[in-house]
Amino acid sequence: MEYRKLGHTDLTVSALCLGTMTWGEQNSEAEAFEQIAMAREHGVNFIDTAEMYPVPPRPETYAATERIIGNWFRQHGDRDAWTLASKVAGPGNGISHIRDGQLKLNRQHIVAALDASLQRLQTTHIDLYQLHWPERSTNFFGKLGYQHQSNDLFTPLEETLEVLDEQVRAGKIRHIGLSNETPWGTMKFLQLAESRGWPRAVSIQNPYNLLNRSFEVGLAEVAIREQCGLLAYSPLAFGMLSGKYEQGARPEGARLTLFSRFARYSNPQTVNACSRYVQLAREHGLDPVHMALAFVTQQPFVTSNIIGATTTDQLRSNLDSSEIRLSDELLAAIEAIHQDQPNPAP
C-alpha cells in the first residue's frame, strides 16, 4: 500500500480509503467489521464516513454508519491506528429527518452535528471534518453547468470557517476538508483561511472516475498547487465500471438494482462509454475494476481513492487494485475513449 501526505498536515494516509456509506443499509455491523479488518490487513489506515450515512438516507437508519464505526473502536481499541474522516450535512431534499431539515453550515448546526458525530464514533476528535456539500446553490451532485440564483441566501463562508476554527482550537477536529465543492468555493475558503489565520482545507472530496473527469477542468490545478488533494469518491461510477451492469444486467442485491435514485451513470452515452472501458480492460488482460481504480489512484492530484463494497470479495478486489500500475499504452487508449466521449456522466 502506498501512503501519501494529507495536504500540508503531518498525517500520512493510505492511497486507498475505506468508504462506509452502505453500512447500516446494505451491510450489517458484522459485515462492516469484516470489511474494516480486511482493509486494515491490506494496509489501509484511512476511513471516511458522514453523519448522513448510510445512503439512501432514511430516518430509520440515520447515523447508523457512524455508530458501527464507533462500536468497532470501542471493541478493538485501535482508534489511533486510523485517520478518521466524517462530514456535516448541508441542506437538501430527502433529509428532513436531520435537525428538522433546516440545515445550515452555521455555528448552531456545525457544533450540533460535530458533537453528535463524536458521541456516535466514540472518539474525542475527528481527524478530517468535511463540509459534505455547499449550502449555496451551485453545480454539484450531477450538475455540470452553473446557473446563478441572485436570491440565494446562504451562511457566509466566513461564519462557516470561523466556527470550524473554533472546533479545531477546542481539539474536536484536527483538520478540515471540503466536499462536492467548486473551484470558486475551494479558492474562496483557502483565501479566507490565509487572510484570517483560520484552518486551510487540506482535501476536497468530489466524484472522479473514467466516466466523470470534470475535476480535471477547474480543480486539478487547485488540488496540486494548493495542497488540497482529491479524495475521489465513486471511482467505479456506482459499480458501472466493474462490468456487472453490462447489457442491462441488474444483479440481485446490487445498488442500481435496489435503488432507483442512483441514476447518474445510466444515460445512453455513459452506458456506451462504460462498455468501451470495460472491453479495453479485458483486451489488456485486466479486471475492469482494477483498471478503473488504478486510473484514479495514480492521478497526481489524488490524495486517496475512496473504495466501497458490499461484499468482502468486492472489497478484496478493490484493495488488490493498489498493486496495479497502468502502462503508458493503456493510458493512451483510455485517453482516446475519453476524447471521443468526454465526461458522458455529470
229/206 Cα distance (integer angstroms): 10
Question: Any idea of the CA torsion for 58, 62, 67, 68, to the nearest 10 degrees?
Answer: 10
Closest CA to 56 of 259, 263, 237, 266: 259
248: confidence class by pLDDT, cuts 50, 70, 90: low
Summary count for the chain: helices (H), strands (E)? 12, 10
Residue 258 has pLDDT above 60, yes or no: no
CA distance 86 to 63: 11
Q: Report the C-alpha gap between 76 and 117 in whole angstroms.
A: 19
Q: Is 208 designated active site?
A: no
Characterize the bridge pairing of strands 201-205 and 229-232.
Answer: parallel
Q: What is the pLDDT of residues 157-178, one digit of tens each?
A: 999 999 999 999 999 999 999 9
Q: Which residue in 3, 53, 208, 233 is the catalytic one?
A: 53
pLDDT band, residue 249 (cuts 50/70/90): low
Helices (H), 8-95: 29-41, 64-76
Q: What is the pLDDT of residues 29-41, one digit of tens each?
A: 999 999 999 999 9
Q: What is the mean pLDDT of residues 93-107?
A: 91
| Fold (topology level) of 3-340 | TIM Barrel (3.20.20)
Q: How far apart are the first and last CA of the chain?
A: 30
Give the β-pairing of 126-131 and 16-19. Answer: unpaired
Least confident span in 88-97, 249-258, 337-346: 249-258
3-state secondary structure of 217: helix
pTM of the predicted protein model = 0.95
Q: How far apart are CA 78 and CA 265, in angstroms?
A: 37
Place of cell 479558492: 187
Question: Is 326 a residue whose pLDDT tops 60?
Answer: yes
Distances (CA, A) of 120 to 49, 87, 110, 181, 281: 12, 13, 15, 26, 41
The per-residue DSSP string of 307-333 comes to: E--SSHHHHHHHHHGGG----HHHHHH
* Exposure class string for 22-38: b at 16+ Cβ within 10 A, else e: bbbbbbebebbbebbeb
Which burial class, exposed, middle or buried, applies to 129 when counting CB atoms under 10 A from its CB (0-12, 13-18, 19+)? buried
C-alpha cell read off for 113: 452535528
